Amino acid sequence: MFWTKIKRVIRWSFASFWRNGFVSLAAVAVMTVTLFVIGSLIFTGALLRTSIEALKDKVDVNVYFVTSAPTEEILSLKKSLEALPEVAKVEYISREQALADFKNRHQDDQLTLQSLGELGDNPLGAVLNIKAKDATNYESIAKFLDQGSRLIGDGKMSIIDKVNYYQNKVAIDKLIRVTNSAQTLGLFVILFFAAVSILITYNTIRLTIFISRDEVSVMRLMGASGRYISARFLLQAALYGIAAAAIALLVFYPTTYWLGPKTADFFFGVNVFRYYLDNFPQIFLLIFGSGIVLGVVSSFLAVRRYLNA
């Protein structure tokens, strides 16, 4: 008896899906747009994450030391920085390496190189290049450097000449704001389209119930339970989501194929088509799961209101 009811529910849901073709098409179209937006935000998120990580990799804090700073003091500070949980990596650049890098950067500027040669001595101090685990950690690292400055000489002069965090602070703060804004905007867009999809599918299911009202009344007279009646409309709405998910995934293939080379050139080598293929199982589950959930939730709300009426 149980399996007989299941077969009847499935048969009726498919029949109603095709019988009310125009109504089903409208629901599927709206859900396809919603799922396409959700999928697009997945790809956009991947591009943003890659771009932000690349930008984060370019953001760092440089500690410039006075020329008289003892190497052992600098290495001791480097060790202390590496022990901080906020620090990902600390690179030590000696005075000699700093001078070689400077000459390399200005190899086409003969005037600068000539002026440097006339000094006779290396005017550059050693440098520590600090990369944090997160952009929000740079401020605490800068405070640690302010509080933990080593002093040398009778005059107790700090071995640190300059920390460029405050010059980079504007760029770091902007990067943090962009990251947070992108995540918040993406969430609001998904919620907006999901709400629109649920509203339209809800009204579509109500219209389907209205069209099938005589059939539903007969089922009630014959003693059909509310669960049995609801199951038909829930499955029909799930079919809307499955059809919409299949269409969205099919549309993503040529779209990402066309956009792939363009995103690779612009977003630090990320090809959305390759990302689509490499992550297809996860994208498949997310899109199909979202479609079914949107359909079932919409149908549940509509059916519950009808049965309670």
CA angle in degrees (0–180, nearest 5) for 153-157-163: 140
Its sign, for the CA torsion 203, 204, 210, 215, is negative
**Separation CA 122–CA 180 (nearest Å):** 44
Domains of the chain, by residue range, sit at 2-55+174-308, 67-158
Which has the minimum average pLDDT: 32-46, 199-213, 264-278? Answer: 199-213
37: tokens are 């937006």
**What's the pLDDT at 1?**
55
Q: Does domain 67-158 have CATH number 3.30.70.3040?
A: yes
**Given pLDDT bands bounded at 50, 70 and 90, which one contains residue 246?**
very high
Which has the minimum average pLDDT: 70-74, 222-226, 250-254, 266-270? Answer: 222-226
* pLDDT at residue 54 tops 80: no
- The pLDDT of 44-65, averaged and rounded, is 76
- The pLDDT of 207-234, averaged and rounded, is 68
**Alpha carbon of residue 63 to chain centroid:** 32
* pLDDT at residue 152 tops 60: no
- The pLDDT of 266-279, averaged and rounded, is 83
**Alpha carbon of residue 135 to chain centroid:** 16
**Separation CA 237–CA 219 (nearest Å):** 20
Compute, in degrees rounded to 10, the torsion defined by CA atoms 48, 50, 52, 53.
160
**What's the pLDDT at 153?**
47
* pLDDT at residue 155 tops 50: no
* pLDDT at residue 4 tops 70: no
**Separation CA 12–CA 219 (nearest Å):** 13
Mean pLDDT over the full length of the chain: 78
- The pLDDT of 53-69, averaged and rounded, is 78
**Given pLDDT bands bounded at 50, 70 and 90, which one contains residue 247?**
very high
**Separation CA 15–CA 10 (nearest Å):** 9
Check residues 145 and 52 and name the one with the higher pLDDT. 145
In the chain, pLDDT over 90 holds for what percent of residues? 6
